């Protein structure tokens, strides 16, 4: 027979005890959102570098309302994507500041990619969908305070 030493168990409480807002699938969605932010940031950096270095890759739209040069759009994507990447790493690390900042930065990414639609529509629509999911995941997650 095994003897017990009277030590308390440090196992996490069951999911019902944790509450629906701070555990299980909700925290998994935030982790996935952070990973998507990092991937989106890396790919956005490539998109920006291509716009700066090889402008002939993108479609030229002469009568577009939000007309900037592709060089300018490239730098917009580089800056926004670098911020998305950095904040995404903070979200993966579980930092509260990163979730709050991520909402703002991903909203900027959403806006930039919406305005970039005429230049690269297929990819911009994919990034818009990812950004909407990331915003939803960051906005709906509310961790329970530790007791």
Q: Where are the alpha helices (DSSP H) in 93-120?
A: 96-115
Q: Where are the alpha helices (DSSP H) in the chain?
A: 15-18, 25-53, 70-92, 96-115, 121-140
Q: Is 55 helix (H, G, I), strand (E, B) or coil?
A: helix
List the chain pLDDT tens, one digit each, 147 residues: 555 555 555 544 434 334 444 455 456 788 899 999 999 999 999 989 988 887 666 766 666 666 777 888 889 999 999 999 999 999 999 888 998 899 999 999 999 999 888 888 888 899 999 999 999 999 887 666 555
User: Is 0.85 surpassed by the pTM of this model?
Assistant: no
In sequence order, which residues have a C-beta less than 8 Å from that of residue 45 and are 6 or more positions away?
77, 78, 81, 82, 85
CB 18 within 8 A of CB 24: yes
């Amino acid at each position: 027979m095994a003897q017990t030493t009277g030590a308390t168990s440090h196992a996490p409480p069951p999911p019902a005890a944790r509450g629906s807002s701070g555990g299980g699938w909700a925290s998994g969605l935030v982790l996935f959102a952070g990973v998507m932010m990092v991937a989106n940031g890396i790919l956005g950096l490539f998109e920006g570098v291509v716009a700066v270095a090889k402008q002939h890759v993108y479609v030229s739209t002469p009568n577009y309302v939000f007309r900037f040069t592709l060089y300018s759009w490239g730098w917009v994507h580089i800056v926004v994507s670098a911020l998305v990447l950095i904040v995404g790493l903070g979200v993966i690390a579980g930092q509260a500041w990163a979730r709050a900042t991520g909402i703002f930065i991903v909203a900027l990414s959403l806006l930039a990619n919406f305005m970039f639609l005429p230049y690269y529509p297929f990819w911009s629509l994919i990034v818009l969908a990812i950004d909407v999911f990331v915003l939803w995941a960051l906005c709906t997650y509310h961790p329970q305070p530790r007791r």
